[in-house]
Amino acid sequence: MARYNLVVVEKIHEADDTCSLRFELPAEVADDFAYSPGQFVHVRAVVDGAPVERSYSLSSAPQVDPHFQLTIKRVESGALSPFLVEQVQRGDRLEVSEPQGRFFDENAGPARHYLLFAAGSGISPLYSILKWLLGRERGDRVTLVYASRCESGIIFRAELDALAAAHGERLRLVHVLSRPAPGWTGESGRLVADAIERLLGPRDAGGLPEIAYLCGPEAFMASVAEALEQRGLAPRDIRRESFATAEAVSADALDDETTVRILPEGTAEDTPVAAAPQTELTVAIDGEEHSIVPQPGETILAALQRAEIDAPFSCQEGTCLSCMCRVEQGAVRMRRHELIGLTPEDLGEGIALACLSKAEGTRVRVSFEDV
């Protein structure tokens, strides 16, 4: 995963605890920073003498915005966000990775009704997706339901209201406050199933198929997803982006009952692989190859981190898809996970997530190249 030192050319205060940073992209790195709606980048900085890295979503939209922008909400106990929100200024340099993630599907088929549900700073990737959808003028309809604590905490408030005014027939914007001040006339309360169904109304009378994108705290997304399934959406049509950093999965927990076996593309499912007490794992990444021996209890990602091999990752729980790799030899066991955005076609092509997989067999090779 390549990283570059980029200059902050503008800092925008979006709310009391949130800012957006816009970066200069020199011509020689512009191709590396081509991105899709809803992607994120890794940001690395030295804070109090120690290097810290976190991922943040891009809030700019490709082919729509002339700038490259990410948005950060300060987390009181955060290792990096307070530094970025409070101390970074125009002219500073930050180490930024190439864009990552496969949250959004740039559907080239028929028009759809997009249901976007955001809570707090979860608006960032959905704001990118929203602008891109409205910009392509294909006939899609969008409903954005945005949950915030209070009016002053609504990120991109003016911009969202302007989009709603400009695209009234295609965009329906609903703000929901959990702690409204006296005088608030909009929606309020928790987004439980009954409230969600009331806000959305009947399924699209125009016949547009519905697909949903969710971003926010895990409890929020679980509640919304349950309501959308009751509405009739298939689980595959409910996509989630998680900002949570979960504890790393232990390979000891990846048994046959809780995993799916992934083999190189074109290999029969029942193909045996040579087994031995010790597995040699070869990894192709960033134009180089590394050979390591995973220790007991290590996932592929954990083994790479122990060997100080710079592999892409973010959430470590299988929702961001940034640690996708391709199995080229041997086999891996990957935990079954209801939130994984991999398709059966991906699995058939040998695609696995390093954070949820362990190597299986004497010789295993995976590649992070061109996945």
Mean pLDDT of 233-259: 72
| Contact in structure between 42 and 3 (CB atoms under 8 Å) | yes
Distant-in-sequence, close-in-space partners of 30: CB < 8 Å, separation ≥ 6 = none
Per-residue model confidence (pLDDT) at position 59: 97
Judge whether 298 lies within some domain: yes
What is the average pLDDT value for the chain, to the nearest integer? Answer: 88
Residues 54 and 79 in one domain: yes
**Do 260 and 228 lie in a common domain?**
no
245: pLDDT strictly greater than 50: no
Whether residue 80 sits in one domain with residue 129: no
Residue recorded with tokens 């989009």: 163
Tell me what pLDDT residue 91 has. 96
- Output the pLDDT for position 205: 52
Q: What is the residue whose two structure tokens read 């707090």? A: 120
> 3-class DSSP state for residue 65?
coil
Mean pLDDT of 348-361: 91
Q: What is the CATH number of the domain that holds 157?
A: 3.40.50.80
Q: Is the pTM of this model over 0.75?
A: yes
Do 184 and 290 share a structural domain?
A: no
- Here the tokens at position 6 are 């980029």
One domain for residues 153 and 225: yes
Q: Which residue has the tokens 């001040």?
A: 181
How large is the average pLDDT for residues 355-369? 91
| pLDDT given at position 271 | 82
Asked if residue 344 and residue 224 are part of one domain, the reply reads no
Per-residue pLDDT of 67-107, as tens digits, reads: 999 999 998 878 899 999 999 999 999 999 999 888 898 87
**Residue 349 maps to which CATH number?**
3.10.20.30
**Across residues 173-197, what is the average pLDDT?**
89
pLDDT-based confidence at 244, cuts 50/70/90?
low
Among 220, 241, 13, 199, which Cα is nearest to 119's? Answer: 220
- pLDDT score of 233 more than 60: yes
The answer on 90 and 15 residing in a single domain is yes
Asked if the structure places residue 107 within a domain, the reply is no
102, part of any domain: no
Condensed to tens digits (0 to 9), the pLDDT of residues 262-288 reads: 999 999 888 877 766 678 999 999 889
For residues 227-255, give the mean pLDDT.
Answer: 76
In a shared domain, residues 236 and 299: no
Side-chain-side CA neighbours of 24 within 13 Å: the count stands at 12
28 pLDDT exceeds 50? yes
Regarding whether 175 and 89 lie in a shared domain, the answer is no
Q: Which range has highest mean pLDDT (201-210, 269-278, 319-328)?
A: 319-328
Check residue 353 and give its pLDDT: 92
Quick one: pLDDT at residue 319?
A: 65
Six-digit token pair at 59? 């809030």
Please indicate, yes or no, whether residues 66 and 133 belong to a single structural domain of this protein: no
Look at 334 and 312; give whichever has higher pLDDT.
334
Could you give the number of structural domains in the chain?
3
> CA–CA separation, 135 vs 119, rounded Å?
23
* Cβ partners under 8 Å of residue 281, min gap 6: 291, 292, 293, 294, 300, 303, 359, 364, 365, 366
Looking at the domain assignment, is residue 103 inside a domain?
Answer: no
pLDDT bin (cut points 50, 70, 90) of residue 292 is very high
Q: Is the pLDDT of residue 316 over 80?
A: no
pLDDT of residue 339: 43
Asked if 118 and 37 sit in the same domain, the reply is no
Q: Are residues 39 and 87 in the same domain?
A: yes
Residue 58 sits in a domain whose CATH number is: 2.40.30.10
Q: What is the pLDDT of residue 246?
A: 45
Bridge pairing between strands 113-119 and 93-97: unpaired
Q: Is 358 helix (H, G, I), strand (E, B) or coil?
A: strand
Main-chain phi, psi angles of 185, to 5 degrees: -110, 0
pLDDT exceeds 90 at position 109: no
Indicate whether 255 pLDDT > 90.
Answer: no
The pLDDT of residue 217 is 86
Q: Which domain holds residue 117?
A: 113-241
Read off the pLDDT of residues 57-78 as tens digits, 9 standing for 90 and up: 999 999 999 999 999 999 887 8
Domain ends where: 72, 97, 122?
Answer: 97
